[in-house]
């Protein structure tokens, strides 16, 4: 199969073809980011790099292109941006995809982009000739990443959830949700508590080093978010996140004997066969119970100092279903140190974490693309 990948990035399309078990004769890539190109060369040295999409013409291909793939820049369409849509110069690069699609007439095509305003979506659909399919990467990984896919490949729409959660992919620490927030190209800027809880951006991992768990809060959710830590310890409780886990609060509450049904996980106070056990129950209004002369049941869990970190590049690779350390090295043929007489594997250089985050944020969730590609007749 001959493939042309526009806005190729770090060649997630090539990875997806491998995962789908589809043999590739030639893979042509159009990309301008030197770090992404370097990573692609490190992993797939036989890829033909074509440079800027605006310079790509049909005269560069001696054989028919069987598959055209690409994800044109999304900043103009994204709800997280200024919503300039086609007024954003980067959004207009979509028409380069259309130019080559109309010229090369590939048997199959895939175009990926973010959720956007209906009017912009309809414009893209009118040029593509098909309506998009919306897929959340959470079905394939531990990341919420909703994207639109315009394709003529008749793939299976009944996607089985792999049930991966964030705790499955982190190297250490703990998390307060099952699925990561979407990793974007700005993740390299680092995270903060404000962004995390007020903007629901830039996933954080929490460190329980030196902490002592003293109980569980009576709230719904993943087991990790119920944990309460000593106010004299080194960490607050992750159970302080109420209102959709967005806003940190001081937890106040009481130590109360409760009968909890082990089968349902719910209170069963009148069941004679269940032993009552003490546990911490929190209040979301920031108030304690009534003050009495015997103060032994009210507790306050301090917000204290929160130990947290950003996801590592390797963890982001796992969220994008990319092999571990795929983005760690690159081959820069445009560097002064490059020696064409040496094997390229010997000339790999380390890629900075900031560049790794950028290309992973701009990349595809590989297993989503692979699933779509499996619908092709090869």
For the segment 106-118, what is each residue's pLDDT rounded down to a tens digit? 999 999 998 888 9
**Phi/psi-derived region of residue 223, left when phi > 0, alpha when psi is between -120 and 50, beta in every other case:** alpha
Better pLDDT: 286 or 87: 87
User: What's the predicted TM-score (pTM) here?
Assistant: 0.72
Q: What fold does the segment set 2-163+327-373 form as a domain?
A: Rossmann fold (3.40.50)
Q: What is the pLDDT of residues 213-270, one digit of tens each?
A: 545 555 555 554 455 544 333 333 333 333 343 333 333 444 456 677 766 666 777 8
For residues 308-324, give the mean pLDDT: 93
**Residues 6 or more apart in contact with residue 104 via CB below 8 angstroms:** 4, 58, 61, 64, 65, 68
Strand partners, 301: 251
Strand partners, 174: 206
Which band of pLDDT confidence, cut at 50, 70 and 90, is reported for residue 280?
very low
For residues 4-15, give the mean pLDDT: 97
Alpha-carbon gap, residue 144 to 161, rounded angstroms: 13
Q: Is the pLDDT of residue 356 over 50?
A: yes
Please report the pLDDT score of residue 239 as a whole number. Answer: 33
Which band of pLDDT confidence, cut at 50, 70 and 90, is reported for residue 315?
very high
Q: Is the pLDDT of residue 300 over 80?
A: no
Q: Is the pLDDT of residue 337 over 70?
A: yes
Please report the pLDDT score of residue 6 as a whole number. Answer: 96
Domain boundaries, the chain: 2-163+327-373, 208-306
Is 301 within 8 Å of 231 (Cβ atoms)?
A: yes
Q: What is the pLDDT of residues 146-179, one digit of tens each?
A: 999 999 999 999 999 999 999 899 998 888 888 9
DSSP string, 76-118: TT-TTTT--GGGSTTGGGHHHHHHHHHHH--SEEEEEEE---H
* Among the listed residues 17, 24, 42, 93, the one whose alpha carbon sits nearest the alpha carbon of residue 359: 42
Which band of pLDDT confidence, cut at 50, 70 and 90, is reported for residue 56?
very high
Is 363 within 8 Å of 341 (Cβ atoms)?
A: no
């Amino acid at each position: 199969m001959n493939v042309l990948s526009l806005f190729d990035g770090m060649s997630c399309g090539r990875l997806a073809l491998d995962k789908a078990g589809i043999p590739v004769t030639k893979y042509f890539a159009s990309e301008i980011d030197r770090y992404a190109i370097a990573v692609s060369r490190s992993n797939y040295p036989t890829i033909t790099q074509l440079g800027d999409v605006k310079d790509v013409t049909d005269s560069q291909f001696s054989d028919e292109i069987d598959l055209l793939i690409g994800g044109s820049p999304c900043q103009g369409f994204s709800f997280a941006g200024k919503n300039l849509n086609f007024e954003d110069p980067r959004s207009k690069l979509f028409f380069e995809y259309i130019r080559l699609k109309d010229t090369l007439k590939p048997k199959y095509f895939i175009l990926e982009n973010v959720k956007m305003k209906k009017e912009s979506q309809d414009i893209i659909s009118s040029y593509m000739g098909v309506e998009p399919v919306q897929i959340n990467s959470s079905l394939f990984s531990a990341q919420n990443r909703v994207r639109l896919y315009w394709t003529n490949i008749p793939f299976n729409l009944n996607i089985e959830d792999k049930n991966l959660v964030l705790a499955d992919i982190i190297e250490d620490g703990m998390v307060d949700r099952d699925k990561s927030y979407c990793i974007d190209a700005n993740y390299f800027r680092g995270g903060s508590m404000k962004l995390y809880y007020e903007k629901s951006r830039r996933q954080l991992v929490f460190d329980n080093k030196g902490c002592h768990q003293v109980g569980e809060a009576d709230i719904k959710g993943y087991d990790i978010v119920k944990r309460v830590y000593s106010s004299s310890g080194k960490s607050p409780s992750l159970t302080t996140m109420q209102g959709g886990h967005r806003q940190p609060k001081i937890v106040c509450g009481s130590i109360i004997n409760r009968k909890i049904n082990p089968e349902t996980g719910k209170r069963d106070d009148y069941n004679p066969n269940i032993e009552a056990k003490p546990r911490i129950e929190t209040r979301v209004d920031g108030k304690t119970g009534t003050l009495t002369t015997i103060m032994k049941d009210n507790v306050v869990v301090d917000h204290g100092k929160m130990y947290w970190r950003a996801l590592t590049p390797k963890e982001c690779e796992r969220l994008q279903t990319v092999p571990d350390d795929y983005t760690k090295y690159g081959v820069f043929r445009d560097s002064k140190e490059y020696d064409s007489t040496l094997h390229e594997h010997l000339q790999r250089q380390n890629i900075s974490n900031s560049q790794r985050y950028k290309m992973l944020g701009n990349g595809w969730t590989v297993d989503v693309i692979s699933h779509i590609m499996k619908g092709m007749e090869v």
